[in-house]
Every structure is written in C-alpha cells, then in structure tokens.
Amino acid sequence: MQFTKDSFYMALRERLASVNPARTVTVNGVTFPAVIVAENELVVPVDPLADAFYLEWGAASVVARQDGSRKIMQMECVISYHTFGSVESGVDRGRALAELDMELLSICQPPNTAKQDFSQTPSVSLGTNVAWSEPVLGDVAGIIAQESTARRIRLERKTTVKVFFFPEVTFQ
C-alpha cells in the first residue's frame, strides 16, 4: 500500500507545482509544493500549516463483489486544509478557501496516475495505475486559533477521496 500512497502524493504534489507554483511550504528548511503527508511528519498529530494540503490515510479494504486473485482495493484519504486569508483582518478568508478548493479539484484531475516505486532513484513503474474518486468537499468550519499574541479565525475544510489500487500481493 505504500507504493499507492506515494504515487497519489507525488501526483498531487507535481500537479500543484504546475497549477500554482507559488503554493509552497517550507518544512525543516526544505521548500516544496504545499502537499504534506501527515504520517511522514516528525510529530504526529502535526500542527498544520495554513494554505497547505494535508493527506491522512484511512483504512484499506478489498472492493466488494470481485472474483480472482487480483482484487482491487480501496483506501480512504482525507485531505485537510485551512486558511487565515491574506490580510490580518481575515476578510478574504472565504475567497482564499475557495482558491484552495479549486486548486484541489484541479490537481485531482485526471483521477489516476501510474503506480511507481519511489524508494528508488529514478522511480520505477510497477505496471499498474492508481485511480481515485472525485473529491467530496466537506463542510467549512470556522476555528479560533491562538497565534503567539493574537487570536485569529481560520476557515478549514476536510475533503474525502477514495483511492483504488491493485495490491502487491495476490489473494487465494
């Protein structure tokens, strides 16, 4: 399943770099497109950065009603993001969140990518694809966040995507 997670993550990251090259984050002195896998961070749960997409993986299961030894599996991915807007007063938070929504919808198209082994350089094709459902955008929540000396309200959203893949094992 790690190859699936890595392939999905790298596809979104590369697409974000194309859609909005300015949407980056700096973590531990390294700047990269603002797509972050929460489980790969040094501290879990992470204190999320604003204006970045966080991937969190849920349970994996075999898709129902299949025969044969090569069964398709699915895994849920929750993509969380939030914004304070671009001005101190936060009056543009809604616009900033809408921009994040549009970027996420854009980078999820097309809804597939080649499955790769990224533990090697260069990466190696594994001969199958990873596909995913259309993102389901959850409700918007307003959260009061304490920042050093000020309290600010951020808008956040959690979006769900189902990722489909062939596992690296066969079923009996």
Which pLDDT score is estimated for 165? 96
Tell me the per-residue pLDDT of 155-170, one tens digit each, with 9 for 90 and over: 999 999 999 999 876 6
Which pLDDT score is estimated for 45? 52
Domain hosting 71: range is 2-165
Considering the domain boundaries, does residue 6 fall inside one?
yes
Cα dihedral 113, 47, 143, 90 sign: negative
CB of 8 closer than 8 Å to CB of 130: yes
Considering the domain boundaries, does residue 170 fall inside one?
no
Considering the domain boundaries, does residue 96 fall inside one?
yes
For residues 31 and 24, give the distance between their C-alpha atoms in angstroms, rounded to a whole number.
Answer: 6
Considering the domain boundaries, does residue 172 fall inside one?
no
For residues 138 and 80, give the distance between their C-alpha atoms in angstroms, rounded to a whole number.
Answer: 10
Considering the domain boundaries, does residue 137 fall inside one?
yes
CB of 38 closer than 8 Å to CB of 55: yes
Considering the domain boundaries, does residue 56 fall inside one?
yes
CB of 103 closer than 8 Å to CB of 20: yes
Which pLDDT score is estimated for 170? 61
Which pLDDT score is estimated for 99? 97
Which pLDDT score is estimated for 143? 81
Number of neighbours of residue 118 by Cβ within 10 angstroms: 15
CB of 101 closer than 8 Å to CB of 129: no
pTM over 0.85: yes
Query: Which of the residues in the chain have pLDDT under 70?
Result: 43-46, 89-90, 146-149, 169-172
Q: How many domains does the chain have?
A: 1
The CATH number of residue 70's host domain is: 3.30.2000
- CB under 8 Å to 16, separation ≥6 — which residues? 23, 33, 34, 35, 53, 103, 107
CB of 118 closer than 8 Å to CB of 10: yes
Considering the domain boundaries, does residue 171 fall inside one?
no
SS3 150: strand
Considering the domain boundaries, does residue 131 fall inside one?
yes
Which pLDDT score is estimated for 172? 55
